[in-house]
Amino acid sequence: MKRTVVPISIAAGLLLVALLTQPAIAAPGVDSSGLRSAVTVAGIRAHQQEFQDIATANGDTRAAGTNGFDESADYVRDLLLGAGYDVTVQPFPFAFFQELSPSFLEQTAPTPTVYGNGTDFLTMDYSAAGNVTASVTAVDVVLALPRSPVTSGCDGDFTEVGAGGFGNIVPDPTGPDDFAAFPSGNIALMQRGTCTFALKVANAASAGASAGIIFNQGNTPAREPLFGGTLGGPADIPALSTSFAFGETLANTSGLILHMVTDTVSEIRTTSNVIAETPGGRTDRVVVVGAHLDSVLAGPGINDNGSGSATILEIALQMADLEIQPRNQVRFMWFAAEEAGLVGSDFYVSQLTKREIKDISVMLNFDMVGSPNFVRFVYDGDGSGTGTVGPNGSDVVEDVFLDYFASQTLATEPTAFDGRSDYGPFIAVGIPAGGLFTGAEGLKTAAQVLIYGGIEGAQYDPCYHEACDTFAGTGDGGGSTPPGLGLIGLDQMSDAAAHAVLTFAMSRSAVNGN
């Protein structure tokens, strides 16, 4: 990996060149200097340290559905109550999945063979736990070209309504049945295609299968390799996925008996969003300021998304300490189960009435603002840089950030509304949105190194979704040059966040121009 070190004087010159290529933008119209001065890196890092301490005491994770998340939510709630906010804890159910140890698969007959986890097969998300030894029965598989269409496992006691997933699977007692002669207790070997994995496994379980294996369809090169899949919710039987070639071999093996072991937790748990509102301000022009509080199971999540959670927490606390009286109500939100598929934000938006949706002026999202190898990404509200346009008014949000960074002589880059964070459910109902992002698994380019420093070809966050996403890892730069580069980004992005929050809190007009 090539490491590029750029002297400060050269980097500064290149930065000015980059800025001079941008159109002139007027200076921000709201004086946010007091709030920006109050929102410090030290204050944000203190919250991140608390999140780290909570994770350390709870198996090194703050994932939704764990004690680590619950204690993080309690920490945020208690500070906000003490600051005078109106705080609501909004519980909701979600599908929790954890693989406790690697799954195991072996052929016991006709030829004893142990297969490789991660090379021959993978555990499907939301697979049940189990220890099964049984004969294998292929279910309506299509091995001859063109291998399309494939309806293997799609016809049975259940069918799907609307979008796929366990929540859309309903009884279908009158339809055709792929499992009419299925021997109860056998392992069902099914092929990818037509319906969801969830429906295939649900039908197999209903037919008495002890486990399920789904192999790739094999109709195109992209549908041949080993793949990972999700069942969307807790299954009743263990389930593995594999490649077309592996599945074809299993289907053609006479007298096949497999021993399968899955060690998982797959169940419905309850978690909660934390919502804090300013006591004052217009309730028909609410400014939603959001960040997800949960980490992945693999680590503490101090950047993803302890950085965004700590930043908006510090903004909220400093607004209260400065006794800022917003013209428009500000609703700070810490979403749960974002890492499980934006479940918390989706649940929140689903509970809003049409009137309540109209009353939200804007949604500001801060998901990862302290990446060790950072870039200053701004959501591309007008679509000019990425081609993906946000709801009416999102261009105004983008301009507030761009105007601010221009006033600070700091370059930025656009990032698309790709649906990967909690703004997704808000823009889906037409709420203007915007926010900041310092990068995740993407790789830093040579051009970006000239502007921001850091390591060319390395991830923006080398510890994204990993156990090393810790307080120490986010403080020492994660190997970037110079050490602590991510804290420079955190300082700049938190100032921009504070400025935008105050700008919209004090705005006299609707963001979407209506």
Show me where the domains of the chain are located: 8-85+278-506, 97-268
Which CATH number, 1.10.1040.10, 3.50.30.30, 3.40.50.1820, 3.40.50.970, labels domain 97-268? 3.50.30.30
- How far is C-alpha 39 from the chain's CA centre? 26
- The letter for the amino acid at 498 is A
Nearest to 198 by CA among 132, 150, 126, 247: 126
Q: What is the pLDDT of residue 27?
A: 34
Are 24 and 502 in contact by the 8 Å Cβ rule? The answer is: no
Mode of pairing for the β-strands spanning 130-138 and 360-366: unpaired
Is 338 catalytic? The answer is yes
**Annotated catalytic residue, options 71, 248, 338, 339:** 338
CA distance 254 to 275: 59
Phi/psi of residue 65, nearest 5 degrees:
90, 0
Q: Which amino acid is at 300?
A: P
- Rounding to the nearest 10 degrees, give the CA dihedral for residues 19, 24, 26, 28: -20
Tokens of 183: 């021997």
3 state DSSP class of 49: helix
Beta-carbon count within 10 A of 27 CB: 9
Yes or no: say if 14 and 473 are a contact pair by the CB < 8 Å rule. Answer: no
Residue-by-residue DSSP string for 151-183: -TTTSSSEEE-SS-SGGGEEE-TTS--TTTTPP
CB contact at 8 A, 483 and 453: no
Split the chain (514 residues) into runs of 10 and give each run's mean pLDDT: 30 36 45 98 98 98 98 98 98 97 98 98 98 98 97 94 77 86 97 96 97 98 97 96 98 98 98 98 98 98 98 98 98 98 97 98 98 97 96 97 98 95 97 98 97 95 96 77 85 98 95 69
pLDDT at 23: 36
| Beta-bridge partner residues of 271 | 92
CA–CA separation, 451 and 162 (whole Å): 47
Pairwise CA distance, residues 327 & 313, whole Å: 20
The predicted structure's pLDDT at residue 479? 57
Q: What is the pLDDT of residue 512?
A: 78
Nearby residues of 267 by Cβ (< 8 Å), 6 or more positions away: 95, 96, 234
CATH code: domain 8-85+278-506 is: 3.40.630.10
DSSP annotation of 513: -
CA torsion sign for 492, 20, 482, 2 is positive
The rounded distance, in Å, linking the Cα atoms of 142 and 178 is 13
Per-residue model confidence (pLDDT) at position 429: 97
Helix (H) or strand (E) holding 87: strand 86-109
Q: CA-CA distances (angstroms) from residue 431 to 394, 395, 422? A: 8, 12, 12
Helices 41-56 + 67-82 axis angle, to 10: 140
Three state DSSP letters for 280-334: CCEEEEEEEEEEECCECCCCCCCCCCHHHHHHHHHHHHHHHHCCCCCCEEEEEEE
pLDDT of residue 477: 63
Query: Nearest CA to 226 among 214, 237, 239, 235?
Result: 214
What pLDDT does residue 36 have? 98
User: Terminal CA-to-CA distance of the chain, rounded, Å?
Assistant: 51
- Per-residue confidence (pLDDT) for residue 307, from 0 to 100: 98
Using one digit for the tens of pLDDT, what is the confidence trace for 7-39?
A: 333 333 333 333 333 333 333 478 999 999 999
| Token pair belonging to 292 | 């997800």
DSSP characters for 337-396? Answer: -STTTSHHHHHHHHT--HHHHHTEEEEEEES----TT---EEE-TT-TTTS-PPSTTHHH
SS3 271: strand
Residue 123 near residue 99, CB atoms below 8 Å:
yes
Q: What is the pLDDT of residue 64?
A: 98
